[in-house]
Structure 1
Amino acid sequence: MKIGTPKEIKNNENRVGLTPAGVSALVKQGHIVYIQEGAGVNSGFSDELYLKVGATLLPSIEEVYAASDMIVKVKEPIEPEYRLIKKDQLLFTYFHFASNAGLTKAMIDSGAVCLAYETVEKADRSLPLLIPMSEVAGRMSIQEGAKYLERPNGGKGILLGGVPGVKPAKVLVLGGGVVGTQAAWMAAGLGADVTLADISLPRLRYLSDVLPKNVKTLVSSEYVIAEEVKTADLVIGAVLVTGAKAPHLVTADMLSTMQKGAVMVDVAIDQGGCFETSRPTTHNDPIYTIDGVVHYCVANIPGAVPYTSTLALTNATLPYAIQLANLGWEKACEASEELRKGLNIVKGEIVYPAVREAFLG
């Protein structure tokens, strides 16, 4: 199969879909791999490294799309890429369709096969291609939140862990999945006063056992969230409904009850955001303020640490990419329930239930 990895062109997206190690594995299986020149540089992988393992370098994104049967990338195609996608071409990447009507229509019109990292699902309902980036984003949400709590960055000027004689910051984490757990670990490690809210009592029991003792757990409800945000210095939105739009847990009305200079980090922004006042931002312009509350809603948080993120992501995606290349997408999805659940749009038809419901009801 002819496999292509273009350079990501989304704002400050520095990751790359295939590492030299991944190219090497695919070439050894007999496949041709096209890499756009410079695609891996921001992740620490030079063109020379790709050439050494058998990649064919192409100078432009247009040539990569034109030459390839399968595209392996990181983020969803953006508007300049729409016209490059061919009928029957397989795209293997993150899509997050439910929150992006324009992308969904473009992919339907393209006639391509869209297999989304975020909905590949194991029998235990875990999401193996979302987990590594959720781990990075969860940890980074605290790193970024702590930064924007600093007064010069618009925050209230509180140190996350406090110091002897001064109370630490209060951190509220909404969601006890991978993102929320990693965020709670990081915040607790810095010495913050952490509260983690989730709707699953069994999950909260587990987290109470494994998380540090400065993490308290709460059963989540609208009332509980409304009360907790009043005193929170940092709120992390970490809720995921697989393939669907995220629910709005913090409403616009709640903002007026929050402290001025508090910070909200919406890690669910790829799926529409779990704060009613969220809108996507970029690493170039990451924050905005409403009612005195700082919003950080960067849609590709892991793109800021591309070396770590690329290695973590491709460790997970490569085995699936090899399956797709060796068997073709139809046979691979017949053989693998995990991959079959990754199919979102196939040749003009929405096939993933949550995406279909989002647009067709």
Structure 2
Amino acid sequence: MNLSEKASKIAPSMTLEITAKANQMKSRGIDVIGFGAGEPDFQTPDYIKKAAIEAIDKGFTKYTPASGIFELKEAISEKLKKDNNLLYDPSQIVISNGAKHSIYNALCAILNPGDEVIIPSPYWLSYPEMVRLADGIPVFIDTDASNDFKITEEQLEMAINNKTKAIIINSPNNPTGTVYSEMELKNIANIAIKHNIFVISDEIYEKLIYEGKHVSIASFNDDIKKLTIVINGMSKAYAMTGWRIGYSASDRNIAKLIGNIQSHTTSNPNSIAQYASIKALRSDNDIINSMVKEFDRRRNFMVERINKIKGLKCNKPQGAFYVMVNISNYIGVNIDGIIINGSIDFANFLLEKANVAVIPCLPFGVDNYIRLSYATSIENIEKGLSRIDDVLNNI
């Protein structure tokens, strides 16, 4: 029996093997330090948990409108106005099962078969697969550390053709931690307007910025706002990864299509998590600020320590909670009879020899980097980096 050709072309996660191996080692009692976490290591704040319990006690456990409850849409509208200088009516907001779901819905709403979507590389590994699932074609623009992993105006202009439908901008960025400045975003906006292409602006790490400030590309003028689909959610800023609440804000016509798509696929996101998210958005940011302060402390420590390790180097990320580490000095090196051909080999080496789990960046579009998350304690960071330092010094 022939199965779906489209589904068969979707790449499995190249990191699963290393993650499974690390978990197997832990199950045998081996002390593995993990730098793979894509979520805050803080607990969801108590006032959000309490709001969820209250929602259960009040019986808010039934179906909601497929695109989300009006009260949460109102709270998101208030947030976008206060934080981002963006005016969206609740009807322009669709609440989904996490920001990833929101991105996929957006792609399904705008793409026709063969449409191209520009993705700056390195990129979050799900972007190209979601584009392919929505019958689009991902087009990559390579960036490098010398420009802090940002695309230039010239690169963007060269990548655009009559098949280009959209560009995905992720600022702050996973995996690089890059934050685009207001001027850089204005330049991208002007090009998008000139060529009439959509911008999917993934702003899920918006609150986790340590240098500069977050600016939403949709905030510059009505022309770019009409072309932009703003993506955000509760996962990163509020340590609510498992609650699965994301949202999109877009032109009414796009929002209507997104709502229609969702109504026939997942229906509404979790009702209890929606009510808890209202409380999160309408409360003060003291807990977020303390979390950001701790992340900043870890970031500074990790970057300084990595750049002292033999053969490794990294830029200092401006946002999110990841560090991209350049391992080029070890590519092609024979270590204990094993030739390091790329990031997966290097990640396996660190796991086997140092009991440290890192994320290879081949799935992110670059094979001479690994990604380390500092969403773990400063003690774990110090211990894990010391282990890496020790094994590399013995080569």
Alignment TM-score, normalising by the size of structure 2: 0.34
User: Which of 1 and 2 has higher RCO (CA within 8 Å, sep 6+)?
Assistant: 2
Alignment TM-score, normalising by the size of structure 1: 0.36
